[in-house]
Chains A and B, each alone.
Chain A
Amino acid sequence: MNPALVAARAGLSRGWIEFRQTLTTPGDLIAILIPAGGFLAAMIWTRHTHVPGTHFSLGTTMLVSVLGLNVVIYGVVTIGDLLIVEREDGTLLRAKAIPNGMLGYLLGKIVNISAQIAFAVTITLLTGAFLFTGLAIRSPGSWLTLAWVLVLGLLATLPLGAVLGSLFPSQRSAGPWWLLLLTGLAAISGIFYPITHLPVFLQWTGQAFPPYWLGLGMRSALLPHAMEAVEVGHSWRHLTTFGVLSAWAVAGLVLAPAVLRRMARRESGSTVAARREKAMRGT
């Protein structure tokens, strides 16, 4: 049998095993549930506030936009952070020491993270469906749009996260940057408040990055058509969404293999041992 195919299958089951471990490890589960709960609290808080210029609930809009933000959090930060941690602890080196191990490792990460996103999106949507009104979740078209935005969103974010994760030397040094990146992008991406109310240059900056388009895509899938009116150009801009997310996906997919290879090439027993000593000394 083709060795690469065998490794790919092993990678798929690796991802599934890791996802199962996440669900059965209290600490990991809490790391998923706390942010989800935090967002939910913000949505409930703004449930009766209206989106400016409409009679539509800001909380409901936020609920939908947060689905898009979830993809960015897991697709960029979680995978990037995992790569850093597992490079430090030697998981990556083990993958390197077995035939086609890196292929299996990366596929495993993709499956694991995609499953985590699906999980986070599902619990957010489920609670939202009970607590909020106005979600357009009855038409098949909604689900179709949700599906392609999710898939394209994963393609746009996962390689990007892998690239960023390869560039940071350690988890300690990466932490503040992740936070800055995430809060910065979330603030200007129209997730929590319509982007049209921001200064023009921030609107443009926000629209250069995936979070805005993921949020817009989600809103187009799950909000009533009338809500188009508050968006830029009074339109869901499906074509542009597709274009921007695809561009990020292509850039990431072109960049990621080279960056990942470079990172993997540097790994050896002594580099892992050096990091371990450094961590033990607490410096």
Chain B
Amino acid sequence: MEDVLDVRDLRMRYGKTDVLNGVSFAARRGEVLALLGPNGAGKTTTIEILEGFRIRSAGQVSVLGADPAHGGEAWRARTGVVLQSWRDHAKWQVRELLTHLGRYYAPYSTASVARPWDVDDLLETVGLTPHARKRVRNLSGGQRRRLDVAIGIVGRPEVLFLDEPTAGFDPEARRDFHEVVRRLADREEATILLTTHDLDEAERLADRILILAQGTIIADGSAVELARAMSGQSEVRWSRGGQRFARAADDATAFVRELFRQYGESVEDLEVRRASLEDTYLALVRQAEHGVPRGLTAVAA
């Protein structure tokens, strides 16, 4: 089956600065991809190129089989973008706004995808039913973000883009949001690309995690795969004679055996910890930033 997203050797240059130098990845139907990376790594640039809001410098990009730079309105109707609202449409009522924005999608209904999403059903899905008649400006921050999601999916998109969707969410809103995204991917088979700083969120939500650093993808795989590939790097902590020690070890078992052989019973408080996604992420980014050869780009590729 053809990939919904297909990015090959994507490059972006602003003036003399290369923000992206050769980004490649692909996504299948119904897959949720999380794009992780330090600030300035090019996450937003990447997602905006895929949304068709930014023109790339070089490389090939295909979203739903079309180049986003020349997508056209029919292509646009099959994509969804979750934007962070600020003051826009402040005077509109929630239901009124969703009904209005949904109208544009009606001509793009197909036998398999009925567009737009039924407004009552959509309100229920994002948990805004009790606030349907409220003006947008009277919504709380969390409710407003749910509305952003609702606007992004009102056209029943086949591919959905979210740039840091849960920034500023409280834990409850975050959990509800995760539910909506998972449901969208599982039930509607939407392909979802989101950027986030929240590793926990990436781990919970994404089928695959892409780590972007220094303008290129330095890791591509599920959270488990990434951790396993880095599992050589376990952390061993112990104390001896009241003093605490911590070492990163490639082979933790061998390290501990050696530790006991040397110090025997004076070793206390032993702890061996496998790398978490956070450790994996930090190690990978550190490697990329210090030019250490990358060992993980081929994971699950």
| A interface with B by C-beta (< 8 Å) | 1-3, 6-7, 9-10, 13-14, 17-18, 21, 25, 86, 89-91, 93-94, 96-101, 104, 267-270, 272-273, 276
Q: Is B89 an interface residue (CB 8 A)?
A: yes
Query: Contacts A2-B107, A104-B104, A268-B53 hold; do A97 and B89 have CB atoms under 8 A apart?
Result: no
Most buried by A among B45, B74, B104: B104
State how many angstroms separate the Cβ of B188 from the closest Cβ of chain A.
18
CB-based contact B88/A94 at 8 Å: yes
Residues from chain B with Cβ under 8 Å of A90 in the complex = 83-88
0/1 per residue, B76-110, Cβ < 8 Å to A? Answer: 11001101111111011000100011011111100
Of the candidates A21, A89, A96, A269, which one forms a contact with B87 in the assembled complex, judged by CB atoms under 8 Å apart?
A89
CB-based contact A99/B77 at 8 Å: yes
CB-based contact A97/B83 at 8 Å: yes
Of the candidates B89, B103, B155, which one forms a contact with A91 in the assembled complex, judged by CB atoms under 8 Å apart?
B89
Residues from chain B with Cβ under 8 Å of A272 in the complex = 83-84, 86
CB-based contact A17/B96 at 8 Å: yes
Of the candidates B44, B76, B92, B107, which one forms a contact with A98 in the assembled complex, judged by CB atoms under 8 Å apart?
B76
Interface size on B, residues (CB 8 A): 35
A1 to B85, CA, bound (A): 31
A102 to B255, CA, bound (A): 64
Residues from chain B with Cβ under 8 Å of A1 in the complex = 106-107
CB-based contact A267/B53 at 8 Å: yes
State how many angstroms separate the Cβ of B19 from the closest Cβ of chain A.
12
Q: Is B247 an interface residue (CB 8 A)?
A: no
A6 to B155, CA, bound (A): 14
Of the candidates B48, B73, B86, B89, which one forms a contact with A3 in the assembled complex, judged by CB atoms under 8 Å apart?
B73
CB-based contact B53/A89 at 8 Å: no
Within 8 A of A (CB), among B97-133: 100-101, 103-108
CB-based contact B106/A97 at 8 Å: no
Residues from chain A with Cβ under 8 Å of B155 in the complex = 98-99
Residues from chain A with Cβ under 8 Å of B76 in the complex = 97-99
0/1 per residue, B36-77, Cβ < 8 Å to A? Answer: 000000001101100101100000000000000000011011
Q: Is B163 an interface residue (CB 8 A)?
A: yes
Residues from chain B with Cβ under 8 Å of A94 in the complex = 83, 88-89, 101, 151
Residues from chain A with Cβ under 8 Å of B86 in the complex = 89-90, 272, 276
State how many angstroms separate the Cβ of B141 from the closest Cβ of chain A.
14
Residues from chain B with Cβ under 8 Å of A14 in the complex = 100
Query: Contacts A269-B44, A269-B83 hold; do A100 and B104 have CB atoms under 8 A apart?
Result: yes
Q: What are 19 residue pairs bridging A and B, where the CB atoms are less than 8 Å apart in the complex?
A: A1-B106, A13-B100, A17-B92, A21-B91, A86-B88, A89-B86, A89-B88, A90-B87, A91-B88, A94-B88, A98-B76, A98-B101, A98-B105, A98-B155, A99-B155, A100-B104, A268-B51, A269-B44, A273-B84
| B interface with A by C-beta (< 8 Å) | 44-45, 47-48, 51, 53-54, 73-74, 76-77, 80-81, 83-89, 91-92, 96, 100-101, 103-108, 151-152, 155, 163
Residues from chain B with Cβ under 8 Å of A93 in the complex = 53, 83
Query: Contacts A270-B44, A272-B83 hold; do A10 and B73 have CB atoms under 8 A apart?
Result: no
CB-based contact A10/B88 at 8 Å: no
A96 to B83, CA, bound (A): 11
Residues from chain A with Cβ under 8 Å of B107 in the complex = 1-3, 6
A90 to B73, CA, bound (A): 19
CB-based contact A6/B96 at 8 Å: no
Residues from chain A with Cβ under 8 Å of B85 in the complex = 90
Q: Given contacts A89-B86, A98-B155, could you give 20 more A-B pairs where the C-beta distance is less than 8 Å?
A: A3-B73, A3-B77, A3-B108, A6-B107, A10-B103, A13-B100, A90-B85, A90-B86, A93-B53, A94-B89, A98-B77, A98-B101, A98-B105, A99-B76, A99-B105, A100-B73, A100-B104, A268-B48, A269-B81, A273-B84
- Write the chain A residue with the least CB distance to B78: A99
Residues from chain A with Cβ under 8 Å of B44 in the complex = 269-270
Residues from chain B with Cβ under 8 Å of A97 in the complex = 51, 76, 80-81, 83, 152
Residues from chain A with Cβ under 8 Å of B51 in the complex = 97, 268-269
A272 to B83, CA, bound (A): 10
A49 to B81, CA, bound (A): 61
A269 to B106, CA, bound (A): 25
State how many angstroms separate the Cβ of B236 from the closest Cβ of chain A.
43
Residues from chain B with Cβ under 8 Å of A273 in the complex = 84
State how many angstroms separate the Cβ of A270 from the closest Cβ of chain B.
5
A86 to B151, CA, bound (A): 17
CB-based contact B88/A99 at 8 Å: no
CB-based contact A99/B100 at 8 Å: no
- Write the chain A residue with the least CB distance to B135: A21
A21 to B90, CA, bound (A): 10
A3 to B155, CA, bound (A): 14
- Write the chain B residue with the least CB distance to A270: B44
Most buried by B among A6, A268, A272: A268
Residues from chain B with Cβ under 8 Å of A25 in the complex = 91
CB-based contact B83/A99 at 8 Å: no
A25 to B138, CA, bound (A): 14
A10 to B47, CA, bound (A): 29
State how many angstroms separate the Cβ of B182 from the closest Cβ of chain A.
23
